Amino acid sequence: SQQGEEDPQALSIQEGENATMNCSYKTSINNLQWYRQNSGRGLVHLILIRSNEREKHSGRLRVTLDTSKKSSSLLITASRAADTASYFCATDGPGGNMLTFGGGTRLMVKP
């Protein structure tokens, strides 16, 4: 079963708008990571947030983590057509050795 579940499954916005994707998970974690995947390619790491952190920024990306609600959000500000991709959250789950990925959010940014 998937540890992380992204919401929404698909999102379509205009260039320049902000995009927010959410991730919920079931069990306690040490860290949560976000990855991006362009169509038909491998995943690229975006950002890692540890369980004792609440917010992290990287360029136009802002990630928040609420361990009490077992949820995280990824905000992409001032989106560009090049941001069109699928975005996945991944958690290290109960075992600690493996990452478990959610089903992803497909983001389309229209020029």
Partner 1 sequence: DVKVTQSSRYLVKRTGEKVFLECVQDMDHENMFWYRQDPGLGLRLIYFSYDVKMKEKGDIPEGYSVSREKKERFSLILESASTNQTSMYLCASSLRGSMDTQYFGPGTRLTVL
Residues that bind partner 1 (CB under 8 A): 2, 30-31, 33, 35, 40-45, 48, 88, 90, 92-93, 96-104
For the bound state, the minimum distance from the C-beta of residue 33 to partner 1, rounded and expressed in Å, comes to 7
For the bound state, the minimum distance from the C-beta of residue 62 to partner 1, rounded and expressed in Å, comes to 18
Structure tokens at 101: 């990925």
Please identify which residue in the block is written with the tokens 């609420």: 66
Residue 36's Cβ-count burial label (10 Å; 0-12, 13-18, 19+) is: buried
For the bound state, the minimum distance from the C-beta of residue 97 to partner 1, rounded and expressed in Å, comes to 5
Q: Is the peptide bond before 111 cis (omega within 30 degrees of 0)?
A: no
Closer residue to partner 1 (CB): 31 or 67: 31
For the bound state, the minimum distance from the C-beta of residue 102 to partner 1, rounded and expressed in Å, comes to 6
Structure tokens at 91: 């958690």
Closer residue to partner 1 (CB): 15 or 47: 47
Closer residue to partner 1 (CB): 73 or 91: 91
Spatial neighbors of 28 by CB under 8 A, at least 6 apart, are 51, 67, 94
